[in-house]
Amino acid sequence: MKRTSFANWPCSIARTVDLIGDGWTPMVLREAFYGTTRFDEFERVLGIGRNVLSQRLGRLVEEGLLERQAYQDNPVRYDYILTTKGRELFPVLAAMMVWGDRWLAPDEGPPVLLRHATCGHDARAEVVCADCREPLELADVRPRLGPGFPERLRESALAVGRFAD
């Protein structure tokens, strides 16, 4: 089944979904966040086919979320290391985890907890306003067109009435 590309949509959510929106890519990233670096480790832990894993790792390298570092010369084998761009995606997956823990976890509780090394407590991601530090709630935000919104689409977007200018 051919996927629709959202790579050129004027929407950061669409572009992010285009990059990580298939079922396997977030799982590969999750394992990278947990410390997995080697192809065979990803394959074993995820139970993913070699061809699918190779495609996902290749795309994450191509997009700059992972980088390959050789750890063996003959034959050449690589570790897949998170880049700054890749590490900065962690809060997105942590927020997904909070939602999943609330709405999809088994009765026994969440399957994985995140221990915050700084304070020693189990942590939960929370999305807050970067300026006032209050939690971001849907009822408290209003979308407005940003500087990267295509000029050719601005008039029709404003006419719909969902965006402030």
Alpha-carbon gap, residue 93 to 156, rounded angstroms: 33
Place of tokens 């962690």: 90
Say if residue 59 is in the same domain as residue 105: no
Question: CB of 24 within 8 A of CB of 52?
Answer: yes
User: Which residues form the domain of 96?
Assistant: 89-141
Cα–Cα distances in Å, from 89 out to 11, 32, 42, 86, 96? 17, 11, 18, 5, 11
pLDDT, tens digit, for every residue of 17-26? Answer: 999 999 999 9
Same domain? For 65 and 16 the reply is yes
Same domain, 73 and 3: yes
Q: How many domains does the chain have?
A: 2
Same domain (yes/no): 47, 20: yes
What confidence score (pLDDT) does residue 164 get? 76
Q: What is the pLDDT of residues 73-97, one digit of tens each?
A: 999 999 999 999 999 999 999 999 9
Of 1-10, 28-37, 137-146, 154-163, which range is least confident?
Answer: 1-10
pTM across the whole model: 0.90
Q: Please tell me the least confidently modeled range out of 1-5, 119-123, 132-136.
A: 1-5
Q: Which residues of 98-125 are buried (b: 16+ CB within 10 A; e: fewer)?
A: beeeeeeeeeeebeeebeeeeeeeeeee
One domain, residues 72 and 4 = yes
> Which residue type is seen at 14?
A
